[in-house]
Amino acid sequence: MSDVKDRVEAPTPPDQPELPKLGLIGWLRWTWRQLTSMKTALVLLFLLALGAVPGSLIPQTAIDPVKVSNFLEQHPKLGPFYDKLGLFDVYKSAWFSAIYLLLFISLIGCVVPRLQVYLKAMRARPPKPPRNLNRLAGYQSFEPAGTDGDVLELAARELRRRRFRVELYDGAVAAERGYLREAGNLLFHFSLILALIGAAWGALLGYRGTVLVVVGNEFSNSIAQYDDFSPGRIFTPDELPPFSLKVNSFTVKFQTDGPQRGAAREFSAPITYQETLDSPAKSYDLQVNHPLKVDGTSVHLLGHGYAPKVTVRDGKGDVAFSGPAPFLPQDGNFSSFGVIKAPDARPEQLGFEGFFLPTAVIDQRGPVSVFPDALNPVMAMTAYYGRPAVETGKPQSVYQLDKSKLTQFGDGKGDKLRFQLAPGQTFKLPDNRGSITFDSYDRWVKLQISHTPGLHLALAGILLAILGLMGSLFIHPRRTWVRVRTQDGRTVVEVAGLDRGPERGLGDEILAITAALQPADALKPVEKPAEPPAEPKQEKS
């Protein structure tokens, strides 16, 4: 009974060996291996793309600070939370920069070891032929008409002609090609690093800003002149090139008939510019996709619109405002919304808001514009009044009217005041509080002034990435062997190939190489030797 018990009891498992502790160096090495793995690089690339999504959905300070300010006012709880996360300036936030930097390090860690392996493979000899060539996908055999040496010499010459790297062995020729496939993979990863460097260079040392310039006005390249300005991390305002320009005129042509009626066909903004204060003035025809290049800075034409010229008089009859007021287009027919501020009007400040309609038509919806060109310009406005404002020093948007301390005029019939003006007309406000005159209109252009020093480097990285990707997709590593052996007292030449990628054209190439080694009428094909039968599997008892 005790013997049976001894046989039934399982033996005591040996104690598990204690693994040595990694220590600081071990943990650092493990962390480096995880960071430089291809899986981590792909995850970081996905996180970088995911992190750029808020930059497209949430207003950005660098692009439109007015929208950011409005978002904070409209969302008093969500806005400060977004601000703490850096979602209003995604591409300069700490978390986006961390992902960017980790991806850069991961790519370097991926490329450098693979480059070493690739250089070692480039110096390696093509491998000897395997024992059973007939098991490969591409295989041909025949009896040669000449001697063994002639066949092998002819095979080496033919393979070199087909751009194989050839190595001679005893009784065989080994050839290999397609090394540029791995070079394409390495070039693709290296080009990503190059593109990241170019983008980082531009983000650190570049700048971008936009400004709206009314025709006839000038612009000097200083921060005070910009409507919005986004400098690089280490860019300083002293580095701005001291050029200036003047928009002399603006010409735009619209299609007047057909299904594309109203579509713009030509934009042209002739300007005069000076590279420095003492340099001579030069002329340039600024057009879309034809920017002005000045001292490494590009001036692009982004858009255009209308700026009605008005004169506002206060209740005392004095001029409180006179000049053009830019209105912003709201639709394809350039129905433009804008405001006119007269904070210096007395005894009460005045404000106006409404629409400028280039080709006004009154229908059931009210005054609307039916064509983008100024064929029948009309201003449809309303007016506000209030106590004189106290200067607080807080910046305000020129495109918005703060109506928190203003009262809208009434029309005397219990409704809000609304009026329309054509060029040359004047509207007097109720109770002799002032008047507004629509004198004429000008056009304005929106300019983007930018300097991106790493742009060409990033573009080169993208082009090299496409080139490397094409190489990795269309170049197939291929090995070919030619061997002379004796079979049943006969001399047999075997030609076989192996393709590491899709085996397209492998069989045709093997046939072509075989035909080149022996004239077609002298070929004596030899059947593949039968493979030894597989041993029967023994059933487990």
Q: All domains of the chain, ordered by start, with CATH? A: 26-118 (no CATH), 138-178+483-522 (3.30.310.50), 201-304+448-467 (no CATH), 309-388+399-441 (no CATH)
Q: How far apart are CA 195 and CA 179, in angstroms?
A: 25
Radius of gyration of the chain, Cα coordinates, nearest whole angstrom = 39
Residues forming beta bridges with residue 177, ordered by sequence position = 478
H or E segment to which residue 309 belongs: strand 297-313
pLDDT for position 539: 45
pLDDT for position 20: 65
Query: Cβ of 48: how many Cβ atoms within 10 Å?
Result: 15
Structure-block tokens of residue 352: 């106006």
Query: Cβ of 99: how many Cβ atoms within 10 Å?
Result: 20
Burial state string for 56-82 with b = 16 or more CB within 10 A and e = fewer than 16: eebbbbbeebbebbebbeeeeeebeeb
DSSP reduced 3-state for 431: helix
Burial state string for 237-259 with b = 16 or more CB within 10 A and e = fewer than 16: eeebeebbbbbeebeeebeeeee
Positions of the chain with pLDDT under 50: 1-2, 4-5, 521-530, 532-541
User: Is the model's pTM score more than 0.85?
Assistant: no
Q: How far apart are CA 503 and CA 510, in angstroms?
A: 12
Burial of 525 (0-12, 13-18, 19+ CB in 10 A): exposed
pLDDT for position 65: 72
pLDDT for position 7: 53
Q: What's the DSSP call for residue 121?
A: H
Q: Are 435 and 176 in contact (CB under 8 A)?
A: no
DSSP reduced 3-state for 512: helix
